[in-house]
Amino acid sequence: MTGLLALVPLVAGAATVLWARGNFLVAHVRGASMSPAHRPGDKVLVRRLPPGRIRPGDVVVADVVVTGLWPGAPGSVPGRTGALGSVRERVVKRVAAVPGDPVPAAVPRRADETSIPDGCFILLGDNSRFSIDSRHFGYVPAAAMIGKVVRPLASASRPI
């Protein structure tokens, strides 16, 4: 019986680790698009949430597809801007609008659209001068939303 009691903390610890891995992740901030709130190189703790629990103003992590000209893309000429292609990027951005909200003026839309369609979000960087966001890649589908940033973690620019 004593041997079984000794296993309780081990099993509880393992269950906690599995729960945390399924519900949280660490994301890295790349670029200055979220400065000054989050700087390049910062790490943030992200809680996985269903898209229905994400609200305007939340800082989120999402996987988006960005289409454009990329240096070093297949078919690009050295020294030139690059070739047209699509790149899947994991981004840290602020939610500007959720389904049903008005489409922000800065975001391209079809003439008949006045509100964000169901299942879509608008993500914008805090530092618009350095941000590739919904102004460039459009609506972000709910399936691309990973979770909400709950706190910054230690980084070179932000020690604990």
Q: Which domains does the chain have, with CATH numbers?
A: 2-150 (2.10.109.10)
Tens of each residue's pLDDT in the chain, 160 residues: 566 666 656 554 444 554 455 689 999 999 999 999 999 999 999 999 999 999 999 999 999 987 765 454 444 444 444 555 677 889 999 999 999 999 998 888 877 888 999 999 999 999 999 999 999 889 999 999 999 999 999 766 655 5
CA angle 142, 146, 150 (to 5 degrees): 125
C-alpha span between 104 and 159 (Å, rounded): 35
Which residue numbers are catalytic? 33, 93
C-alpha span between 45 and 20 (Å, rounded): 11
